[in-house]
Amino acid sequence: MDRKAAKELLHVQGWLERVDEIIQRGQDAYLADDLLQEAGDSLMMKLGEAANRISRRDVLAPEGVEWALAVANRNFIHQYDEIDRDLTWLTLSRDLPAWRASLEPLFAEAAATIL
């Protein structure tokens, strides 16, 4: 793995850790707090940007992860007036934790590359 891809993956790992912080507060807190919603949006946009860059570096996504879906989600989030908060909560609470688990081997490889 090249260093740029490794750095991108380590950013993804950090952002997914932040997603976990939002999830730990619970759905009710998320739906009631505009700031948490904006944080979730920002994280999903960052993940989409990183997924785009990672895929261009020919890093194969592990099973259960599709770079193109993260990019599509980033584009969806840009439509601020049409955001369905129940849907963004599902992405944050169900999809992204599954991605984090699937990406763990790549995160380990990225960390080894940077060292």
What is d(CA 34, CA 81) in angstroms, rounded to the nearest whole number?
14
Confidence of residue 80 (pLDDT cuts 50, 70, 90): low
Residue spans of alpha helices (H) in 1-115: 3-25, 27-32, 34-56, 67-77, 85-90, 96-114
Domain of residue 60 covers 3-114
Q: Backbone phi, then psi, for 107, in 5-degree steps? A: -65, -40
Q: What is the mean pLDDT of residues 65-75?
A: 82
Q: Return all residues near 81 (Cβ < 8 A) that are at least 6 apart.
A: none
Task: Record the pTM.
Answer: 0.90
The total of structural domains in the chain comes to 1
d(Cα 1, Cα 77) in Å, to the nearest integer? 30
